Amino acid sequence: MIQQTLSIIKPDATRRNIIGEILTQIEQSGLSVKALKMLHLTQEQAEGFYAEHQGKDFFAPLVAFMTSAPIVVAVLEGENAITHYRTLMGATDPEKREKGTIRDRFALSYRENSVHGSDSENSAKREIAYFFTPNEIVK
Total residues contacting ligand UDP by CB under 6 A comes to: 8
Q: Does the annotation list 49 as a binding residue?
A: no
d(CA 22, CA 15): 13
Q: Which CB, 81 or 133, lies closer to ligand UDP?
A: 81
Q: Does the annotation list 92 as a binding residue?
A: yes
> Is 130 near ligand UDP (CB under 6 A)?
no
Catalytic, 116? Answer yes
Closest CA to 130 of 56, 66, 61: 66
Residue ranges of alpha helices (H) inside the chain are 11-15, 19-28, 43-49, 59-66, 81-89, 102-106, 121-131
Q: Does the annotation list 86 as a binding residue?
A: yes
Quick note: the x/- pattern for ligand UDP over 20-59, rule CB under 6 A, is --------------------------------------x-
Q: Which CB, 36 or 63, lies closer to ligand UDP?
A: 63
Residue 13 near residue 22 (C-beta atoms within 8 A): yes
> Is 111 near ligand UDP (CB under 6 A)?
yes
CB atoms near residue 13 (< 10 Å): 24
